[in-house]
């Protein structure tokens, strides 16, 4: 059920992002008088799940139709064919006279027509190609602004929050419960991705441990070790204290409010993460637990749910602060938040060019894991906005077959007033597609390998 919920969120999110990306190309193409032959969500080799087109003033529809459907009997129609393919790996907007991923070169055998992409000035073609990434980035900022207006911005301060560290981090001197006061002499702010990335790259960290202020000098190689061992680095320290137990859980009336776990099946328990680890190692339907209840130590036999869980809510020790915004306040805040997300993503891209970073690349499985295991609109839109930023950034990279590759060639044409040949563009498109398919296979292959590790 969890996998299904994540899969539905992934498909819905990517479908939305593909549609707005291709719609960016579509809008600029139509603005400059170019014909858009097809607009598809998902790819449709051989056949489509759904097709429709307005012909002679009447909408025509087809379901599970082959690509030889009679729609093609009207090739000169200025109307666009809309459809849904069966291969859920993206989508496309086919603009007349453009060499795209379909590698359709039939139009090259004819004289350029005034409504074709190739007949338009380079600056117009530039805006058409930049339209997709532009809409994706603007879309992310709009979503973040809507999130700020609807839910606000909840955060905790790093200097006020006890943290839990991985075994790798502890080798560099960190201890569970440390609060981070400064990174390379600069006082920390919110517990967010940019501060965590700065933490990995820092040379000196100032922490508050119990009541003492301690300075840690970090050795080089921390980032590579974190990437290689894939254990994470730091998370919020959450003591294993019970807030409440679900009424339908077998442990209801066995486990009590404010019970603090001390041991589970003989393993010492300090944090909520220790509880989860013990659940992963369980061998039966019952856990032998030792808890601190008031001043007494109590031994419990905890029956588990059918899913193998205890069924309790952990007591939240965090001092969570929430900023709320009016409609007009949410817009600049959403823009600022989106730029921070883009900054973080660009900063961490450099790690992908290391051996350890390349091994951490993931495909659809890794993307799907970004979504929660339950349906939550706040989390869904937060993740969708971040994926929109990723899609915009990745597409603007100067790689043939991506928008960035086309933009690079168009900039060359604008600056040097010389257009690359059709043969060069076809070969570049083929090389780019080969690179992208290789990366797609590698990324999803790494997802599969991690399932067996």
Q: Give per-residue pLDDT as tens, 4-35.
A: 888 889 999 999 999 999 999 999 999 999 99
For residues 424 and 322, give the distance between their C-alpha atoms in angstroms, rounded to a whole number: 54
Q: Reduced to 3 states, what is the DSSP secondary structure of residue 179?
A: strand
Confidence band, pLDDT 50/70/90 cuts, at residue 137? very high
One domain for residues 391 and 446: yes
Least confident piece of the model among 77-81, 123-127, 300-304: 77-81
Of the candidates 393, 407, 294, the residue with the CA atom closest to the CA atom of residue 346: 393
- Residue 401 reports pLDDT greater than 90: no
More confident residue, 70 or 362: 362
Which CATH number does the domain housing residue 257 bear? Answer: 2.30.42.10
Q: What is the pLDDT of residue 107?
A: 63
46 occurs within a structural domain: no
One domain for residues 201 and 129: no
**Boundaries of domain holding 195:** 154-234+318-323
One domain for residues 246 and 370: no
One domain for residues 308 and 343: no
Residue 185, C-beta contacts closer than 8 angstroms, at least 6 positions apart:
204, 206
33 occurs within a structural domain: no
Residue 313, C-beta contacts closer than 8 angstroms, at least 6 positions apart:
242, 243, 244, 245, 246
Q: Pick from 323, 346, 367: which residue ends a domain? A: 323
252 occurs within a structural domain: yes
Q: What is the pLDDT of residue 243?
A: 87
Confidence band, pLDDT 50/70/90 cuts, at residue 104? low
53 occurs within a structural domain: no
391 occurs within a structural domain: yes
- Residue 111 reports pLDDT greater than 70: yes
Residue that is written with structure tokens 């306040």 in the block:
329
Q: Pick from 293, 323, 353: which residue ends a domain? A: 323
One domain for residues 419 and 308: no
One domain for residues 419 and 431: yes
199 occurs within a structural domain: yes
Q: What is the pLDDT of residue 56?
A: 77
434 occurs within a structural domain: yes
One domain for residues 367 and 444: yes
| Partners of 43 in the β-ladder | 87
pTM for this predicted structure: 0.82
- Residue 187 reports pLDDT greater than 60: yes
Least confident piece of the model among 98-107, 214-223, 377-386: 98-107
Q: Pick from 323, 353, 388: which residue ends a domain? A: 323
pLDDT tens-digit profile of 306-347? 777 888 888 877 778 888 999 999 999 999 999 999 998 888
Q: What is the pLDDT of residue 430?
A: 82
Q: Taking residues 94-106, what's their average pLDDT? A: 73
Q: What is the pLDDT of residue 438?
A: 86
CB-neighbour burial class of residue 146 (10 A; exposed 0-12, middle 13-18, buried 19+): middle
Structure tokens, 156: 């905790």
One domain for residues 304 and 201: no
Of the candidates 93, 96, 85, the residue with the CA atom closest to the CA atom of residue 22: 93
pLDDT tens-digit profile of 436-451? 888 888 877 877 877 7
5 occurs within a structural domain: no
- Residue 170 reports pLDDT greater than 90: no
Of the candidates 335, 332, 446, the residue with the CA atom closest to the CA atom of residue 389: 335
One domain for residues 388 and 403: yes
One domain for residues 424 and 334: yes
One domain for residues 369 and 426: yes
Which CATH number does the domain housing residue 193 bear? Answer: 2.30.42
Provide the domain count of the chain.
3
One domain for residues 256 and 281: yes
What is the pairing mode between strands 36-43 and 81-84?
Answer: parallel
Structure tokens, 34: 């170019």
For residues 189 and 202, give the distance between their C-alpha atoms in angstroms, rounded to a whole number: 15
- Residue 224 reports pLDDT greater than 70: no
């Amino acid at each position: 059920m969890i996998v299904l919920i994540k899969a539905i969120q992934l498909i819905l999110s990517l479908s939305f992002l593909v549609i707005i990306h291709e719609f960016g190309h579509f809008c600029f193409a139509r603005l400059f008088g170019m014909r858009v032959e097809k607009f598809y969500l998902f790819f449709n080799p051989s056949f489509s799940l759904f097709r429709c087109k307005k012909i002679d003033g009447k909408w025509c529809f087809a379901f599970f139709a082959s690509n030889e459907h009679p729609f093609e009997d009207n090739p000169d129609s200025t109307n666009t064919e809309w459809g849904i393919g069966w291969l859920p790996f993206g989508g496309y907007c086919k603009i007349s006279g453009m060499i795209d991923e379909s590698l359709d070169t039939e139009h090259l055998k004819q004289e350029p027509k005034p409504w074709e992409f190739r007949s338009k000035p380079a600056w117009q073609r530039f805006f058409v190609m930049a339209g997709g990434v532009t809409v994706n980035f603007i879309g992310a900022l709009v979503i973040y602004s809507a999130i700020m207006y609807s839910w606000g911005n909840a955060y905790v301060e790093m200097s006020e929050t006890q943290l839990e560290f991985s075994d790798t981090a502890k080798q560099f001197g960190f201890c569970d419960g440390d609060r981070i006061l400064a990174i390379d002499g600069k006082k920390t702010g919110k517990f967010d991705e940019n501060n965590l990335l700065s933490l990995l790259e820092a040379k000196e960290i100032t922490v508050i441990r119990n009541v003492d202020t301690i300075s840690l000098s970090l050795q080089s190689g921390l980032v590579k070790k974190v990437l290689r061992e894939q254990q994470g680095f730091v998370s919020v320290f959450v003591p294993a204290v019970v807030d409440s137990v679900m009424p339908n859980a077998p442990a209801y009336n066995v486990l009590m409010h404010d019970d603090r776990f001390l041991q589970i099946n003989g393993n010492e328990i300090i944090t909520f993460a220790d509880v989860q680890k013990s659940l992963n190692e369980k061998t039966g339907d019952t856990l032998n637990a030792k808890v601190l209840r008031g001043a007494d130590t109590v031994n419990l036999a905890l029956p588990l749910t059918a899913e193998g869980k205890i069924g309790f809510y952990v007591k939240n020790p965090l001092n969570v602060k929430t900023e709320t915004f009016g409609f007009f306040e949410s817009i600049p805040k959403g823009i600022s938040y989106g730029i921070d997300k883009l900054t973080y993503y660009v900063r961490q891209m450099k790690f992908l060019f290391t051996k350890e970073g390349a091994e951490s690349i993931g495909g659809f499985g890794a993307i799907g894991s970004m979504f929660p295991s339950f349906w939550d609109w706040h989390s869904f839109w937060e993740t969708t906005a971040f994926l929109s930023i990723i899609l915009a950034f990745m597409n603007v990279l100067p790689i043939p077959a991506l928008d960035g590759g086309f933009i690079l060639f168009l900039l060359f044409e604008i600056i040097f007033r010389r257009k690359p040949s059709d043969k060069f563009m076809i070969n570049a498109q083929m090389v780019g597609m080969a690179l992208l398919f290789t990366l797609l296979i590698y990324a999803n292959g790494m997802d599969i390998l991690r399932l067996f590790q």
